[in-house]
Amino acid sequence: MADATHADWRTDRIGAALRGENPTVIRRLDASFAVIGDVQFLPGYSVLLVDEPDVERLSDLPRSRRRAYLDDLDRFAEAVERACGSQDPAFRRVNLEILGNKDPFLHAHIWPRYSWEPPELVNMPVWLYPRDHWTAEPFRLGARHDDLRKAIGHELDRLVPTD
């Protein structure tokens, strides 16, 4: 994919997802899009995007949509947990974050954590990883992540809500 194409969908991730043009989308959920992260220095890093581009914070949603979004987050986080746990015995847990400091739309980060992480970072927030982890080629999402991406999608399909 050309860099210009990347730039186009990255400037409007939710709009691109709604149009079927966001290549990181794993599944469409009830109130959101489950996407794999642009960087994979912690394999399985994923993001839950709200499906309404103008929603900036959880409190912007009516209560029923908030519940649907948080139910999607619960399901997606469990899918990431199951997939990462099945692919790497060093998987420990997932961390969930709804921050909203940089991107002006509601989204939640799902960070898998592993026992092989550097000792000075293993128990710290991922945001303390060196800046190059966010941009360097070895950590960028690519074809080498296809199996993990498929595993997450498979787990999402298995975790269909029953309520």
From first to last of its 163 residues, the chain has per-residue pLDDT tens of 344 444 578 788 999 999 999 999 999 999 999 999 999 999 999 999 999 999 999 999 999 999 999 999 999 999 999 999 999 999 999 999 998 778 889 999 999 999 999 999 999 999 999 999 999 999 999 899 999 999 999 999 999 876 6
Domain annotation covers residue 39:
yes
Domain annotation covers residue 29:
yes
Counted domains in the chain: 1
Q: Which helix (H) or strand (E) holds 148?
A: helix 146-158
Is residue 39 a contact partner of residue 139, using CB atoms and an 8 Å limit?
yes
- DSSP tag of 42: S
Per-residue pLDDT at 163: 60
Domain that holds residue 79: 3-158
Per-residue pLDDT at 1: 39
Domain annotation covers residue 53:
yes
Q: How far apart are CA 23 and CA 35, in angstroms?
A: 9
Domain annotation covers residue 122:
yes
Domain annotation covers residue 9:
yes
Domain annotation covers residue 77:
yes
Domain annotation covers residue 163:
no
Q: What is the CATH number of the domain that holds 57?
A: 3.30.428.10
Beta strands in the chain (DSSP E): 25-28, 32-36, 46-50, 91-97, 107-114
Per-residue pLDDT at 8: 79
Domain annotation covers residue 64:
yes
Q: Is 46 exposed, middle or buried (0-12, 13-18, 19+ CB in 10 A)?
A: buried
Per-residue pLDDT at 157: 96
